[in-house]
């Protein structure tokens, strides 16, 4: 198979879908790899690194889209990239379609087979291709929130760790999964007084057992959320219902109860965000204010630390990428239901139930497709 990767064109996105190490692995499996010139530069990989791995450098993205059987990216294809996708081509990347109807319709129109990193599953029910970027975004969230809390950035002027004689910042993390756990660890490490809300009692038990008082846990009821959000200097939004739009747990009304200059870091923004007032921002202009509350809503936070993120993402995607290349998408998905869970769009139809429901579009179940392909 011919595998291609391009330079990411989303604002301030410096990650790349294929590392030279992943390219070398694909070449070792007998595949051809083509890379747009300069695609790895933002993550510290030179064209010569790819050439040394056995890949071919091509001049532009149009050549990659025209020639490759499978496109491997990081972020969802932007409108100009969507126009270059074609029927039968595999797209392997983050998509986050539940909050992006325009993209979903373009992908359906392209006829391509689109596998979303964020809905590929693991045996234990976790999301192995989302997890590495959730680890990064979770660890970045308190750092970005601390910056947002500074006066010059519109914040309340509160220091995360406080100082002797002055209390630390109160941080509330909504969702205690991968983002939430990493955010809580770092915020607590900065000295903040942290509480993690989750609706899963087993998850709260795990956090309590594992972190032994490093942060508090609370059950995510409406009343508990309202009380904690009102008392917070920083709220980190980290909920997820896989494939679906994020539940709006912070309402517009609740902002009125928040402290002026408090910060909401809505990491869940790529699924639409868990605050009613959130809208996606970019690294160029990351923060906006509503009712005195500062919102940081960057949908590609890991792009800020592109080298760490690219390596972490590639470590996770590589086995799936090789399976897709070696077997083709039908056999790879038929043999691995966890990879099949990543299939979001195929031949003009939505194939993921949560995405179809979120966008109110008809569903063509992956299992039906795979049986048809047998």
Ligand X SMILES: NC(=O)C1=CN([C@@H]2O[C@H](COP(=O)(O)OP(=O)(O)OC[C@H]3O[C@@H](n4cnc5c(N)ncnc54)[C@H](O)[C@@H]3O)[C@@H](O)[C@H]2O)C=CC1
Residue ranges in contact with ligand X by CB under 6 A: 118, 127, 130, 133-134, 137, 174-180, 197-200, 203, 220, 238-241, 246-247, 249, 267-271, 298-302
Number of residues in contact with ligand PYR, rule: CB under 6 A?
Answer: 8
Residue with tokens 């790895």: 40
Q: Shortest distance, CB of residue 302 to ligand PYR, whole angstroms?
A: 4
What crossing angle do the helices spanning 306-335 and 20-28 adopt, rounded to 10°?
30
Q: Is 15 annotated as a binding residue?
A: yes
Given ligand PYR, Mg ion, ligand X, none, residue 241, with its beta carbon under 5 to 8 Å by kind, binds: ligand X
Scanning residues 242 to 271, which ones bind Mg ion (CB under 5 A)?
270
Q: Shortest distance, CB of residue 244 to ligand PYR, whole angstroms?
A: 15
303/136 Cα distance (integer angstroms): 10
Residue 21 exposed, middle or buried by CB count within 10 Å (0-12, 13-18, 19+) = middle
Which two structure tokens, joined as six digits, stand for 252?
Answer: 């517009």
- Catalytic site includes residue 96: yes
Q: By beta-carbon distance, which residue lies closest to ligand X? A: 177
Q: Shortest distance, CB of residue 118 to Mg ion, whole angstroms?
A: 8
Q: Is 82 annotated as a binding residue?
A: no
Q: Which residue, 74 or 323, is less far from Mg ion as judged by CB?
A: 74
Q: Shortest distance, CB of residue 320 to ligand PYR, whole angstroms?
A: 15
Q: Is there binding between residue 92 and ligand PYR (CB under 6 A)?
A: no
Catalytic residue (choose from 96, 295, 346, 352): 96
Q: Is 24 annotated as a binding residue?
A: no
Residue with tokens 């009102």: 230
Q: Shortest distance, CB of residue 327 to ligand PYR, whole angstroms?
A: 25
User: By rule CB under 6 A, what string of x and - marks binding of each residue 130-159 to ligand PYR?
Assistant: x--x--------------------------
Q: Is there binding between residue 300 and ligand PYR (CB under 6 A)?
A: yes
194/176 Cα distance (integer angstroms): 12
Q: Is 355 annotated as a binding residue?
A: no
Among 185, 302, 340, 358, which residue interacts with ligand PYR (rule: CB under 6 A)?
Answer: 302
Q: Shortest distance, CB of residue 125 to ligand X, whole angstroms?
A: 9
Q: What does the CA dihedral 101, 102, 104, 106 come to, rounded to 10 degrees?
A: 160
Q: Is there binding between residue 94 and ligand PYR (CB under 6 A)?
A: yes
DSSP string, 297-332: -BTTGGGGGHHHHHHHHHHHHHHHHHHHHHHHHHHH
Catalytic residue (choose from 100, 233, 266, 270): 270
CB 195, CB 173: distance < 8 Å: yes
What crossing angle do the helices spanning 131-148 and 178-189 adopt, rounded to 10°?
40
Q: Which residue, 262 or 269, is less far from ligand PYR as judged by CB?
A: 269
Q: Is 3 helix (H, G, I), strand (E, B) or coil?
A: strand
Among 25, 106, 270, 336, which residue interacts with ligand PYR (rule: CB under 6 A)?
Answer: 270
82/75 Cα distance (integer angstroms): 12
Given ligand X, Mg ion, ligand PYR, none, residue 95, with its beta carbon under 5 to 8 Å by kind, binds: none
CB 269, CB 278: distance < 8 Å: yes
CB 119, CB 48: distance < 8 Å: no
Q: Which residue, 26 or 129, is less far from ligand X as judged by CB?
A: 129
Which two structure tokens, joined as six digits, stand for 283?
Answer: 């690294």
Q: How many residues does the chain have?
A: 374
**b vs e for 24-47, b when ≥16 Cβ sit within 10 Å of the residue's Cβ?**
bbbeeeebbbbbbebbbebbebeb
Per the annotation, binding residues are 15, 75, 134, 198, 203, 220, 239-240, 267-270, 279, 298-301
Interface ranges with ligand PYR (CB under 6 A): 75, 94, 96, 130, 133, 270, 300, 302
Active-site annotation, residues: 96, 270
- Chain positions contacting Mg ion, by CB under 5 A: 270, 299-300
Q: Which amino acids are annotated as binding site for substrate, given as ranges? A: 15, 75
């Amino acid at each position: 198979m011919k595998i291609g990767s391009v330079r990411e064109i989303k604002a301030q996105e410096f990650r790349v879908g294929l590392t030279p190490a992943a390219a070398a692995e694909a070449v070792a499996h007998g595949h051809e790899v083509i890379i747009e010139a300069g695609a790895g530069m933002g993550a510290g990989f030179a064209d010569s690194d790819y050439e040394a791995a056995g890949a071919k450098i091509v001049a532009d993205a149009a050549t990659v889209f025209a020639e490759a059987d499978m496109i491997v990216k990081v972020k969802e294809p932007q409108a100009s990239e969507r126009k270059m996708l074609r029927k039968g081509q595999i797209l392997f990347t983050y998509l986050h379609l539940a909050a992006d109807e325009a993209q979903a319709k373009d992908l359906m129109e392209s006829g391509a087979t689109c596998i979303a990193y964020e809905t590929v599953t693991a045996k234990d029910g976790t999301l192995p291709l989302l997890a590495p970027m959730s680890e990064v975004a979770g660890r970045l969230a308190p750092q970005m929130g601390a910056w947002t809390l500074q006066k010059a950035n519109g914040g309340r002027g509160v220091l995360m760790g406080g100082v002797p004689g002055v209390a630390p910042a109160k941080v509330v993390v909504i969702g205690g999964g991968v983002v939430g756990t990493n955010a809580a660890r770092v915020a607590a490490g900065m000295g903040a007084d942290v509480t993690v809300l989750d609706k899963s009692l087993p998850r709260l038990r795990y956090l309590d057992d594992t972190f032994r008082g490093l942060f508090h846990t609370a059950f995510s009821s409406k009343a508990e959320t309202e009380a904690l959000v009102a008392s917070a200097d920083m709220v980190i939004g980290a909920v997820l219902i896989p494939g679906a739009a994020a539940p709006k747990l912070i309402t517009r009304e609740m902002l009125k109860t928040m402290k002026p200059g408090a910060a909401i870091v809505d990491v869940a923004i790529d699924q639409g965000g868990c605050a009613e007032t959130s809208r996606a921002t970019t690294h160029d202009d990351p923060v906006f204010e509503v009712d005195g509350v500062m919102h940081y809503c960057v949908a590609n936070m890991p792009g800020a630390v592109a080298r760490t993120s690219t390596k972490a993402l590639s470590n996770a995607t590589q086995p799936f990428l090789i399976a897709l290349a070696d077997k083709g998408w039908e056999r790879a998905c038929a043999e691995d239901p966890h990879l099949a869970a990543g299939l979001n769009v195929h031949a003009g139809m939505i194939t993921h139930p949560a995405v179809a429901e979120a966008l109110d579009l008809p569903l063509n179940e992956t299992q039906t497709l795979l049986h048809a392909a047998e």
